[in-house]
Amino acid sequence: MFTESMGIECGCVVGGAGPAGMGLLFNALKSGTLAALARDGLIIVDSSPTPGAGCLGDYRITANSVGDVFLDCLRHPALREIFEPLEGALAYWRVRYQAQSALPLPDIGQLLTEASSLFFEHIVNHYGVKLWHSSTITQVVADSEGYEVWVEHEGHLHCIRSRTLVLNLGGRQDSQYLLDGLADQGLYVPPSASIHSADRLLRMNSVQLRQQFADALASDKGITLVGGSHSAFSMLENLADALEFAGLKTLNLVHRSPIRLFYESAEEARQSGYVFNPQQDVCPVTGRINRSGGLRYRARDVGRAAVERGRVGNTGVSVRLLSTREDREAVQQALADSCMVVQCTGYQPRLPVLMRRDGSMISLREAKGGLDSDPGGCPIDEHGLRLHGLHLFGLGAGLGVDPSLGSEASFDGRIYGVWQFHHDASRAVIEAVLERLRYKSREIDVAAPNLVERLENGLPFLFPGFAGIKA
């Protein structure tokens, strides 16, 4: 039975504490802005009992950056004392010992979970932050003052009124989105074929994959992957590894943009015999090749072998790379001959019900690869109105390229990535949230006592155990 508790108020809700939400919180502590962020009350809400790593550790693939990139997110004088106990943690040493290698994502997930647990303990004790874990945001109501965030915890419904809401609940892959994208190019998936989300398949082990694809292998129909990114090539390798000995001979991979590879420099690319466009593919700030859109590490090796030898990694499985621009007829034939299509194309943000005070629903305007938002992740609605105080930048939402930080001209997608969440991506979000809180605080200073005092002393608070961390 759902019951309704009295609402509480705060300045900021961080909804979703996966790599994006955590990146913002870590960055706030590192930049000395966490106290200001928490001044009017800061509540972190996440549906997981042990928040911190989000879905990242669930994917059975290799990271697209070396271990040191993740360690770099934890490396800062302000974090040194907090993370001292990590020295005794296996998860930390596993990454540290192989800091220059791209590691399996489950190892990275473990590191982020352990670091986040220490981090929560610190900010709850020192900054009065509240952590509501095992709590699911179901609905958000927007009005001119801010956001009403409805949260479900153990069958009870609670309401938080917040001036600002940082909402990163991860991404989802919608099969209709794939069908629409193909239809825009005049391509169709036959009704007899089933569409499967790579997001789900990438979490499966070989045994599970063999079960999933058993019927396809027993038939004379094909399997086609759609997408050309890190997850598409990781999916390709996972399928070849798992299914080769069950009889898989060939996979199709359908992509729209050219397959691009990442290199640290033009020199490195040339030495590897990789042909790139010096105008389109080079980042003017770093000199890197395909810095934002190129395949890296294991996915790059798989991509290279696919392009050069038509093989998937070290397996005997062959792959047909088919471009929707150059091989349209072959693409349509491959789709028509397939009984399973694997969706490896982009993500949409996972959102709760979003509505206005008058009950009308809000839909957020999309851009290629994510949401149409400003540099602080503040989105606009279907009427073109900006939703001030709402910020999204994680999986499915992303941020546009900041020209001052650089990228390659050929990349027109959105930026995602743990390091970005901990650095450039969340910096602008923190500034925007603080600006809105400052504006409100000026009003409150004259009109009413500090909201933190109201939160701690006045209003009935809350779920027992939520003052600290249970998990």
Ligand X SMILES: Cc1cc2nc3c(=O)[nH]c(=O)nc-3n(C[C@H](O)[C@H](O)[C@H](O)COP(=O)(O)OP(=O)(O)OC[C@H]3O[C@@H](n4cnc5c(N)ncnc54)[C@H](O)[C@@H]3O)c2cc1C
| Cα–Cα distance, 357 to 444 (Å, whole number) | 23
Q: By CB under 6 A, is residue 119 in contact with ligand X? A: no
Candidate segments 25-33, 50-58, 184-192, 455-463, binder of ligand X by CB under 6 A? 50-58
User: Please, which residue, 16 or 293, has the CB nearer to ligand X?
Assistant: 16
Instruction: Kindly state whether residue 292 participates in binding ligand X, applying the rule CB under 6 A.
Output: no
Assigned token pair, 287: 């000199």
Span near ligand X by CB under 6 A; candidates 123-131, 163-171, 329-337, 380-388: 163-171
Member of 11, 18, 228, 413 binding ligand X (CB under 6 A): 18
Identified binder of ligand X from the candidate list 85, 352, 375, 406, rule CB under 6 A: 352
User: In 10 A of CB 390, how many CB atoms?
Assistant: 23
350 near ligand X, rule: CB under 6 A: yes
Planar angle of CA 273, 259, 71, nearest 5 degrees? 85
Give the residue, chosen from 110, 116, 162, 231, that forms a contact with ligand X under the rule CB under 6 A. 231
Establish if 170 lies at the interface with ligand X (CB under 6 A).
Answer: yes
Measure the CA–CA gap between 179 and 106, rounded to whole angstroms: 31
Give residue 276's identity as a one-letter amino acid code. F
Q: Considering the rule CB under 6 A, would residue 415 count as an interface residue with ligand X?
A: no
Number of alpha carbons in the 13 Å side-chain half-sphere of residue 427: 8
Residue 249 burial (CB count, 10 A)? 11
**Residue placing its CB nearer to ligand X in the complex, 39 or 153:** 153
Q: Is 55 in the site for ligand X (CB under 6 A)?
A: yes
Gyration radius of the chain's alpha carbons: 23
Task: Kindly state whether residue 45 participates in binding ligand X, applying the rule CB under 6 A.
Answer: yes
Sign of torsion, CA 44 50 54 56?
positive
x/- track of binding to ligand X for residues 77-96 (CB under 6 A): --------------------
Smallest gap from Cβ 122 to ligand X, in A, equals: 19
How many other C-beta atoms are found inside a 10 Å radius of the C-beta of residue 49? Answer: 10
Residue 64 in contact with ligand X, rule: CB under 6 A: yes
Among the listed residues 59, 150, 233, 463, the single contact to ligand X using CB under 6 A: 59
Minimal distance, residue 110 CB to ligand X, in Å? 14
**Number of other CB atoms surrounding residue 182 within 10 Å:** 21
Report if residue 137 touches ligand X, rule: CB under 6 A: yes
Spatial contact of 354 and 361, defined as CB atoms under 8 Å apart: yes
For every residue of 36-105, DSSP letters joined together read HHHTT-EEEE-SSSS-SSTTGGGS-SB-SS-HHHHHHHT-SHHHHTTTGGGGG-HHHHHHHHTTTSPPBH
What is the smallest separation between the CB atom of 354 and ligand X, expressed in angstroms? 12
Q: In the complex, what is the shortest distance from the CB of residue 456 to ligand X, in angstroms, rounded to a whole number? A: 24
Closest CB 170 distance from ligand X, rounded Å: 2
Contact call for residues 148 and 107 (beta carbons, < 8 A): no
Interface residues toward ligand X, by CB under 6 A: 15-21, 45-48, 51, 54-56, 59, 63-65, 105, 136-137, 168-170, 202, 231, 350, 352, 394-395, 416-418
